[in-house]
Chains A and B, each alone.
Chain A
């Protein structure tokens, strides 16, 4: 077990299987392990619960169908019927982020999405995909989007630059939102949970335990809140991806 006392020790990357590929460190880390667990759990959940294919769904099948319909409905509402071809991608992104967030809430679980590089990789590829889709669908009119209608000629160069930066800030905001929420939530959990033992060491066994009931109760409530935030942030990530996709397909 780790002997770290800092609330930030939970985010440390540990190489479980050190692999060195031509000087690059591509070890199988605890982050990779939890990503594999997330993908395995999502795959198992959907294949096993839909195995019965009952017309009147049982509990597991109902859960799978509700999740499917939820994201399909969100995609239909934001993009419309042209968005159906992107549904596998959007659904995969949602389920991966959701399962990775929820796995971080398990005891001793590692939150893969709390690292900015993980969420930035996701957001970067989503950004590239949406740009490619936009260029493929609209051709050179995609670049005309960077000059809004009605700007005076002397403001045009500055406006184009600002619009480009505004477009480039989308993957950053998408990734920072998710990772900052996850990291802040987990740091808060560890810090307040640390208060319980802090009170015991500071005030002695009996007084400390009595005083430690308050942060303990708070941590219990905060854990429930963090589970809600995990699900909500996965949903917000997906909805904003759908909104950007809608902008790429329709607004030009």
Chain B
């Protein structure tokens, strides 16, 4: 009878370990969009477009503030498109 009785501390240990495993498994759960097919393509297009839009908006406002006509729009547009591509790379690699 004593052999099959597991002590309360061992049970506690097992529960904590199982909880930790559960937490680590659920942390790796990625967002709901499938990484293959139309949803991923839509996400990729959206990420790239958002990067370009964010960059050009920021460049436009910096240009308005500094008065340097198209320089910052061009620079920030290029940086924004690079950032968009980085976003696509990041979320594609997450699967």
Separation of A51 and B38 alpha carbons in the complex (Å): 43
Residue B32 lies at the interface, judged by CB distance under 8 Å to chain A: yes
Known contacts: A80-B27, A176-B49. The answer to whether A169 contacts B32 by CB under 8 A is no
Which B residues, 50 to 81, have Cβ-Cβ distances below 8 Å to chain A?
A: 50-51, 53-55, 57-58, 76, 79-80
Q: How far is the CB of B88 from chain A (nearest CB, A)?
A: 10
Separation of A161 and B29 alpha carbons in the complex (Å): 29
Q: Would you give the 0/1 interface string for A160-176, flagging 1 where the beta carbon is closer than 8 Å to chain B?
A: 01111110111011001
- Chain B hits for A168, CB < 8 A: 54, 58, 83
- Chain B hits for A240, CB < 8 A: 31
Counting chain A residues whose Cβ lies within 8 A of the other chain, the interface size class is: 20 to 34
**In the complex, are the beta carbons of B80 and A169 less than 8 A apart?**
yes
- Chain A hits for B7, CB < 8 A: none
Majority secondary structure of chain A interface residues (helix, strand, loop or mixed): helix
**In the complex, are the beta carbons of A77 and B47 less than 8 A apart?**
no
Separation of A76 and B58 alpha carbons in the complex (Å): 35
**In the complex, are the beta carbons of B26 and A166 less than 8 A apart?**
no
- Chain B hits for A162, CB < 8 A: 79, 82-83, 86
- Chain A hits for B53, CB < 8 A: 169, 172, 176
Q: How far is the CB of B74 from chain A (nearest CB, A)?
A: 14
**In the complex, are the beta carbons of B86 and A172 less than 8 A apart?**
no
- Chain B hits for A190, CB < 8 A: none
Separation of A223 and B27 alpha carbons in the complex (Å): 36
Majority secondary structure of chain B interface residues (helix, strand, loop or mixed): helix
**In the complex, are the beta carbons of A165 and B79 less than 8 A apart?**
yes
Count how many chain B residues have C-beta atoms less than 8 Å from C-beta atoms of the other chain: 26
- Chain A hits for B32, CB < 8 A: 235-236, 239
- Chain A hits for B3, CB < 8 A: none
**In the complex, are the beta carbons of B58 and A165 less than 8 A apart?**
yes
Separation of A165 and B80 alpha carbons in the complex (Å): 6
- Chain A hits for B23, CB < 8 A: 80
User: Which A residue's beta carbon lies closest to that of B49?
Assistant: A176
Q: Would you give the 0/1 interface string for A46-78, flagging 1 where the beta carbon is closer than 8 Å to chain B?
A: 000000000000000000000000000000111
Which A residues, 156 to 205, have Cβ-Cβ distances below 8 Å to chain B?
A: 161-166, 168-170, 172-173, 176-177, 180
- Chain B hits for A147, CB < 8 A: none
Q: List 16 A-B contacts (CB under 8 A).
A: A78-B29, A161-B79, A162-B83, A162-B86, A163-B86, A165-B55, A166-B86, A166-B90, A169-B83, A169-B87, A172-B54, A172-B57, A173-B50, A176-B53, A239-B32, A240-B31
- 9 other A-B residue contacts (CB within 8 Å) besides A78-B31, A166-B90: A161-B79, A165-B58, A165-B83, A166-B83, A166-B87, A168-B58, A168-B83, A169-B83, A250-B27
